[in-house]
């Protein structure tokens, strides 16, 4: 009979291990959690076996992501017999499903939502006989100083500018797991950008559930103005942003993008469905025609722009004709990359109150069709780049071949190449010599 309950823990010299599921926002949150615990005296363990504290940072957007959490907790459970270990769950599932978490996995010591990360040292020190649940909301932005971030990359830094969402798309749990929209004061963003540039960071990525809704809570400055300012800040080489909502993606943002070569010619703009009738049931706030018109404007004003998107198949009531409209939209736009999913009902959402009436086998077949089409599109796009030379920001050894380096180009495509020295965190020029559907291959070009 195992028992993970510990007496209150002093973080000094204690080790912690972080396992992260989900999007770039979760990855950035994990950097924040690691920095907070390190500043409090903890040290990060490289292996879960060596940790005194295990924290799983979670995503609730898809049912599959939530299943990964419970699967992981099940796998680490036998390790808890060997020695006392604190187990915590953070992130979106922690916020939206705290009671269910504790009921399903009683050995969890603490559950902490995104608004409470700055309290983690205090929460961990209080752990004892009962599970601590910290899922309180704040209506105001809670600033975490940059020094509390333990950044994973020496060259790329995520900069959160807002959190939450007010759109209430009928399938989406984000308003219940991240709360309503709140915006980071512009003065804090400016200070962080200046600090990152001074420390030699080459690329920054503005993060938020809906970055283009950003408005400085103190001055009213909109996102387009923030983007323009970042594009003209000395020291930064690349500026990106995600995610944007098509409903509020404005011409002013496009004009800001054209104002500076520092702002990458790449946008992630979630379509979700190519059918106007499905989009209406999703409560997305735009039609197929309105979305495609914005894509046309982007392509006209920014030639060569790289576009990516999200697609959901099998949304309740989706007919074969409506699904066909999604396929035709993919053909029309020719996205450089997509993230595609089968619809799964999420708690508290309005879509979950009705029937999930598209059979699983049909969802699976539609997802396979979407992914097969996108694979052909990406293969063609990548083949067209063979022979070109491009700037690549080195990230580290390739996952598939440690003898190769891997990096990303301005379009956020993966580029693998050989290099005589470590080019992590550096810009290099690579001539593309080969390609596959998911990455490019090339040779380093010496200046």
Q: Does domain 15-134 have CATH number 3.30.1330.40?
A: no
DSSP-assigned states of every residue in 201-236: --EEEEE-TTGGG-B-TTT--BHHHHHHHHHT-TT-
Q: Characterise 393 by phi-psi region: left (phi > 0), alpha (psi -120 to 50), beta (else).
A: beta
In angstroms, the CA 440 to CA 433 distance is 8
**In this predicted structure, what is the pLDDT of residue 403?**
85
Say if residue 304 is exposed, middle or buried (CB neighbours under 10 Å; 0-12, 13-18, 19+).
exposed
Each residue's pLDDT tens digit, 371-392: 999 999 999 999 999 999 999 9
Can you give the C-alpha Rg of the chain in angstroms?
A: 22
**In this predicted structure, what is the pLDDT of residue 146?**
61
Given this chain, do its domains 15-134 and 389-444 carry the same CATH topology?
no
Quick check: 272 pLDDT over 50? Answer: yes
Where do the structural domains in the chain lie, given as residue ranges? 15-134, 146-383, 389-444
Specify the CATH superfamily of domain 146-383: tm_1862 like domain (3.80.30.20)
| Run of H or E including 239 | strand 238-242
Using CA atoms, how far residue 307 sits from 248, 270, 291, 336, in Å, is: 17, 10, 13, 6
Each residue's pLDDT tens digit, 304-339: 999 999 999 999 999 999 999 999 999 999 999 999
Minimum mean pLDDT range among 283-287, 302-306, 416-420: 416-420
pLDDT confidence bin for 43, thresholds 50/70/90: very high
**In this predicted structure, what is the pLDDT of residue 234?**
93
Each residue's pLDDT tens digit, 80-110: 766 688 999 999 888 888 888 888 888 899 9
CB of 27 closer than 8 Å to CB of 20: yes
**In this predicted structure, what is the pLDDT of residue 240?**
97
pTM: 0.91
Determine the topology of domain 389-444 in CATH: OB fold (Dihydrolipoamide Acetyltransferase, E2P) (2.40.50)
pLDDT confidence bin for 203, thresholds 50/70/90: very high
The single residue listed with the structure tokens 């003065």 is 187
Minimum mean pLDDT range among 68-77, 112-121, 356-365, 366-375: 68-77
In angstroms, the CA 146 to CA 144 distance is 6
């Amino acid at each position: 009979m195992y028992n993970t309950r510990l007496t209150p823990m002093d973080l000094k010299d204690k080790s912690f291990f972080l396992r992260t599921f989900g999007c770039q926002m979760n990855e950035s949150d994990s950097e924040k959690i690691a920095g907070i615990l390190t500043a409090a005296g903890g040290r990060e363990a490289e292996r879960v076996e060596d940790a005194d504290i295990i924290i799983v940072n979670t995503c609730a957007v898809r049912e599959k992501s939530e299943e990964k959490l419970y699967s992981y907790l099940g796998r680490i459970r036998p390790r808890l017999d060997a020695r006392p270990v604190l187990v915590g769950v953070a992130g979106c599932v922690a916020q939206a499903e705290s009671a269910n978490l504790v009921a399903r996995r009683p050995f969890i010591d603490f559950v902490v939502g995104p608004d409470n990360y700055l309290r983690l040292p205090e929460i961990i020190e209080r752990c004892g006989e009962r599970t601590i649940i910290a899922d309180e909301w704040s209506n105001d932005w809670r600033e975490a100083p940059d020094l509390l971030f333990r950044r994973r990359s020496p060259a790329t830094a995520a900069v959160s500018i807002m959190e939450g969402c007010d759109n209430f798309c009928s399938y989406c749990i984000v308003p219940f797991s991240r709360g309503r929209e709140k915006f980071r004061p512009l003065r804090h963003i400016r200070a962080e950008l200046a600090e990152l540039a001074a420390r030699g960071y080459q690329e920054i990525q503005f993060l938020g559930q809906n970055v283009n809704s950003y408005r400085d809570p103190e001055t009213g400055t909109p996102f387009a103005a923030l983007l323009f300012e970042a594009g003209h800040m000395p020291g930064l080489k690349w500026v990106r942003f995600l995610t944007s909502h098509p409903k509020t993606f404005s011409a002013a943002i496009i004009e800001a993008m054209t104002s500076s070569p520092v702002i990458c010619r790449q946008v992630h703009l979630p379509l979700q469905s190519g059918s106007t009738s499905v989009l209406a049931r999703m409560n997305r706030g735009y039609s197929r025609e309105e979305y495609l018109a914005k894509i046309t404007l982007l392509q006209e004003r920014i030639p060569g722009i790289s576009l990516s998107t999200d697609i959901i198949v099998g949304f309740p009531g989706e007919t074969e004709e409506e699904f066909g409209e999604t396929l035709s939209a993919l053909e029309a736009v020719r996205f450089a990359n997509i993230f595609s999913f089968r619809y799964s009902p999420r708690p508290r959402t309005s879509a979950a109150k009705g029937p999930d009436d598209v059979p699983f086998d049909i969802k699976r077949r539609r997802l396979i069709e979407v992914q097969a089409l996108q694979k052909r599109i990406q293969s063609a796009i990548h083949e067209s780049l063979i022979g070109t030379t491009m700037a690549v920001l080195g990230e580290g050894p390739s996952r598939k071949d440690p003898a190769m380096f891997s990096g990303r180009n301005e379009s956020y495509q993966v580029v693998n190449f050989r290099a005589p020295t470590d080019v992590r965190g550096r810009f290099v020029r690579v001539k593309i010599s080969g390609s596959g559907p998911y990455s490019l291959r090339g040779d380093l070009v010496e200046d």
